[in-house]
Amino acid sequence: MGWEQIEISLPNCSSLQVISFPVVQLHLNRTAMRASQKDFENAMNQVKLLKKDPGNEAKLKLYALYKQATEGPCNMPKPGVFDLINKAKWDAWNALGSLPKETARQNYVDLVSSLSSSLESSSQVEPGTDRKSTGYETLMVTSEDGITKIMLNRPTKKNALNVEMYHEIMHALKAASKDDSAITVLTGNGDYYSSGNDLTNFTDIPPGGVEEKAKNGAILLREFVGCFIDFPKPLIAMVNGPAVGISVTLLGLFDAVYASDRATFHTPFSHLGQSPEGCSSYTFPKIMSPAKAIEMLVFGKKLTAGEACAQGLVTEVFPDSTFQKEVWTRLKAFAKLPPNAMRISKEIIRNREKEKLHAVNAEECSVLQGRWLSDECMNAVVNFLSRKSKL
Ligand SMILES: CCCCCC/C=C/C(=O)SCCNC(=O)CCNC(=O)[C@H](O)C(C)(C)COP(=O)(O)OP(=O)(O)OC[C@H]1O[C@@H](n2cnc3c(N)ncnc32)[C@H](O)[C@@H]1OP(=O)(O)O
């Protein structure tokens, strides 16, 4: 009888729970659905056909709009603070306030339509696309003046990397490696460079359980970091604000790192029950000495931009007020240099380390796979999601 399941799952202290909720209920209220009932039903069917998981945020929006369209404003008692899944659902529905049913129905149809087109087109962006690459859900990718700019674009989530963003960055890097730009730049939209791994990535548990989730995470992470190790052109980070976790560790694989003096560099892996990735267990001790690397990667010491520059992780620091102007002027000059010479010079500097970096990457991912199953890690994620702790 038409129960389409979309799963939102959140960890529960020592074990991980999956709760499914109905987003499609085909016995709809006929009066409420009159004019666009067909569109609504079509949209509900379209949800089943999405080729990629739209992510928890979108699923929650779909849930809320569905409930609003069929039942009207949220009329359920607010779940307790530890009932994370039902609270997330309640929050999403309740946030719609007194939105009329008809508008909710229309918004549901619009959302499904935009999800269908963005999830379709994000896997169809051709390498070498010039100017603006549309179709990315979590990035803004532009190419001009010989520079491909990949901008992390989830500013309201401090550019946390969700699963979709990992895939889109890999796609954008592969496209940039083949386009006609000379250099590639990674930066963040908004006040953060990136707050690192999206901690809700840990909450969407597949039928194979947490072990399968951890295994898939390790596979994805290995492939993701591999794209940075193998990137053939000069790769530059413009660290526009605070950087956390994996967005910091990856910097050891960039060819230049320019930072605003507002940026900070924080790798709180022990606090999160996790261990270093992005090849930082190898690159950081080489860049800054083993003792300084341990302060960051084991004890979670947060560095200012000036300190990160003194340790060799950052190439140069700029005042925030002139950061964009000064760095772009410099990058435009770099991009005018002969691209083949730059590529070949990077190759000769980096290539003898590549095999080692891939081996380090594999080992780090395998260690992390085990860490993600630990109580230490699960408790840290639950604490963040239930807002008991922040960095
Ligand atoms: C395939 C898996 C690969 C895994 C690779 C391993 C990678 C490991 C890491 O990267 S470890 C680092 C993980 N990151 C964190 O622990 C940071 C968590 N975030 C925070 O502590 C804080 O949000 C903050 C200090 C970054 C910013 O604090 P504040 O300025 O007070 O802003 P808010 O907390 O209100 O944040 C606004 C909004 O963004 C959401 N958000 C921020 N960071 C994350 C995140 N990392 N994951 C998920 N969500 C994040 C936050 O929840 C707020 O959302 P809301 O407005 O409440 O909906």
Same domain, 170 and 290: yes
Average pLDDT over residues 92-107: 87
Same domain, 317 and 235: yes
pLDDT digits (tens, 9 = 90+) for 221-254: 999 999 999 999 999 999 999 999 999 999 999 9
Average pLDDT over residues 285-292: 98
Number of domains in the chain: 2
Contacts of 214-220 spanning 24+ positions with Cβ under 8 A: 214/369, 214/370, 214/372, 214/373, 215/369, 217/368, 217/369, 217/372, 218/365, 218/366, 218/368, 218/369, 219/365, 220/163, 220/166, 220/167
Q: Among the atoms of ligand 1, which is closest to the Cα of residue 192? A: 26
Average pLDDT over residues 272-278: 97
Whose C-alpha lies nearest to ligand 1, atom 54? 157
Same domain, 195 and 310: yes
Instruction: Tell me the average pLDDT of the chain.
Output: 86
CA distance 250 to 287: 13
Asked whether residue 16 is assigned to any structural domain, the reply reads: no
Asked whether residue 18 is assigned to any structural domain, the reply reads: no
| Interval between CA 160 and ligand 1 midpoint (Å) | 6
Compute CA 139 distance to the chain's CA centroid, rounded to the nearest angstrom: 9
Q: What is the CATH number of the domain that holds 165?
A: 3.90.226.10
Which of residues 335 and 120 earns the better pLDDT score?
A: 335
Same domain, 289 and 185: yes
At 103, is the pLDDT very low, low, confident or very high (cuts 50, 70, 90)? Answer: confident
Q: What is the CATH number of the domain that holds 71?
A: 1.20.80.10
Answer whether 200 contacts ligand 1 (Cβ < 6 A). Answer: yes
Answer whether 157 contacts ligand 1 (Cβ < 6 A). Answer: yes
Same domain, 143 and 195: yes
CA distance 332 to 220: 33
Same domain, 145 and 83: no
Answer whether 204 contacts ligand 1 (Cβ < 6 A). Answer: no
Answer whether 158 contacts ligand 1 (Cβ < 6 A). Answer: yes
Same domain, 147 and 112: no
| Interval between CA 33 and ligand 1 midpoint (Å) | 39
Q: Which of 218-222, 242-246, 383-387 shows the lowest mean pLDDT across its residues?
A: 383-387
Same domain, 314 and 198: yes
At 205, is the pLDDT very low, low, confident or very high (cuts 50, 70, 90)? Answer: confident
Domain boundary among 87, 118, 149: 118
Whose C-alpha lies nearest to ligand 1, atom 48? 198
CA distance 280 to 290: 11
Residue range of the domain that includes 156: 139-389
CB 251 within 8 A of CB 225: no
CA distance 389 to 300: 15
Same domain, 230 and 85: no
pLDDT digits (tens, 9 = 90+) for 120-133: 543 333 333 444 66
Q: Which of 73-77, 285-289, 325-329 shows the lowest mean pLDDT across its residues?
A: 73-77
Whose C-alpha lies nearest to ligand 1, atom 5? 197
pLDDT digits (tens, 9 = 90+) for 176-192: 999 999 999 999 999 99
Asked whether residue 52 is assigned to any structural domain, the reply reads: yes
Same domain, 264 and 378: yes
Residue in 178, 262, 280, 272 with CA at minimum distance from that of residue 221 = 280
Q: Which residue has the tokens 């891939």?
A: 358
pLDDT for 8: 47
Same domain, 150 and 110: no
